[in-house]
Amino acid sequence: MDNKIEILLNSQKNITSVNVDTYNKIELISNQKLINEYDVNRILNATELFDAEREVNENYRIYGKIEYMSILNGLKNSYSEFKDFFLPQIDNSKNITNSFDFYLVKPAESGYTQIVDYSTRYLRYFKVIATPADFEIYPIGFANNVYGEQAYSFNFNNDFNIADLTDGFGFPLTELFLYAQYKRTGSETMKCTLWNAITGNESKVVLNPTTLVIGDYVKVTTGGKISDMIEYSEPNYYQYQLYPQTFYIFTPYDPSKRLVWKYNPFIPFQLRYLSNDLYKANTGNTSYDEITSIPTYATNLGNDNFVWREILPQGYIDPLTGIGVNYPFINKKRYLFSNIVFSVVPDLTDSETLTAFSAVWFEINATTINTTPIGDINNIGKPCR
């Protein structure tokens, strides 16, 4: 049993001492307080969180499949007779990997040339953002095209952030381009399309490709820029490609004859789309909330009038136009897959090339078949007798 302890007051211990309460008083108060459920539990919507993260992230990883469709594929590097263009080599000496250098390019942020006679037409130039050193291409196992030729897989081994990139009109980037630069062999020569800056008339000029580095304009050895032609409407905040660039390859044979081939060197990668709806606002008589909704890439038409089109959210497909993209979003990047059929075809607008291919027979000494097919379209679907 505990011993009883008596505590004496300080005044009884010493005449000069003051009594002191050495115990803490505890106040017990019973008040009701509402517990807010959201402070205790918060339900996360994984879909909303995924969409929010994808929208603010503008990193792209670009890869895909490419099929090279051309008579030039699989031939030897020099041609002495016309039949050489129809004799594929066993060693497949000429193919996509040794016939082209591939770059990734974007529309230049400035410097477009306006066609004087057409106020809405411009020559659009391109700048390099990735070189062949950043590009990987390799055969796909057990994958051939419809002609039995090897299909290839490609990949850029770095990511591309387009958040701060714009084109020459201040538009947010909606496309990047794979630039295919042909590597000449033997006595081959090349030409490209050039448009007159006054009239817009088209002509062909000598093309001598050069090695490019990141930041370069796509150009020739003399420094001339390579372009396509676009239509641009400022009040409608709209632009589109009017005429693509075309490269021409001249392949001599026999020895004073030659064939001409052509291809489009700029292959688009669609990053995103702009809305079909046009937005307008005037900062002079618009509420603060509306002014803050004007995007930084909007075009100022003067007198504080702005126009723009919204960027369609990732994963949204416009029900009216059918446009939109829905790329996988993993590891803080969007994975853009592109299935490319890359063709280099004979230029049949060239008279010599047209004459040569017009003389090609389907079968040597072929005879005309005069037999009329037997059949009755009305009997389709009826039992055989």
> Domain residue spans in the chain?
60-275+311-358, 279-310
pLDDT reading at 368 higher than 70: no
| pLDDT value at residue 208 | 93
Residue 84: what are its φ and ψ, rounded to 5°? -60, -25
Q: Residue 164 CB: number of other CB atoms within 10 A? A: 8
| Chain mean pLDDT for the chain | 87
Reduced to 3 states (helix: H, G, I; strand: E, B; else coil), residue 140 is strand
| pLDDT value at residue 90 | 80
Highest-pLDDT range among 135-144, 152-161, 287-296: 152-161
Give the tens place of pLDDT for each residue, 279-334: 988 887 666 666 777 888 999 998 888 999 999 999 888 888 888 999 999 999 99
Q: Mean pLDDT across the stretch 136-164? A: 90
| pLDDT value at residue 12 | 72
More confident residue, 120 or 365: 120
Question: Pick from 91, 76, 93, 86: which is nearest to 188 by CA?
Answer: 76
Q: H/E element holding 180?
A: strand 175-182
More confident residue, 238 or 363: 238
| pLDDT value at residue 133 | 96
| pLDDT value at residue 47 | 82
| pLDDT value at residue 234 | 95
Q: How far apart are the first and last CA of the chain?
A: 118
CA distance 181 to 101: 5
Question: Pick from 104, 323, 241, 273: which is nearest to 173 by CA?
Answer: 273
Reduced to 3 states (helix: H, G, I; strand: E, B; else coil), residue 255 is coil
Q: Mean pLDDT across the stretch 168-172? A: 94
Percentage of residues in the chain with pLDDT exceeding 90?
A: 58
Give the tens place of pLDDT for each residue, 202-232: 999 999 999 999 999 999 988 899 999 999 9
Percentage of residues in the chain with pLDDT exceeding 70?
A: 87
Confidence of residue 51 (pLDDT cuts 50, 70, 90): confident
More confident residue, 33 or 308: 308
The answer to whether 169 touches 161, Cβ cutoff 8 Å, is: no
| pLDDT value at residue 1 | 53
More confident residue, 195 or 25: 195
CA distance 285 to 336: 42
Q: Mean pLDDT across the stretch 96-112? A: 96
The four Cα atoms 173, 178, 181, 182 give a dihedral, to 10 degrees, of -150
For Cα atoms 326, 332, 337, give the angle at the middle one, nearest 5 degrees: 40
Q: Mean pLDDT across the stretch 167-178? A: 95
Question: Pick from 302, 255, 297: which is nearest to 274 by CA?
Answer: 297
Contacts 24+ apart (CB under 8 A), 221-228: 225/125, 226/125, 226/126, 226/192, 226/265, 227/113, 227/123, 227/124, 227/125, 227/126, 227/195, 228/123, 228/124, 228/266
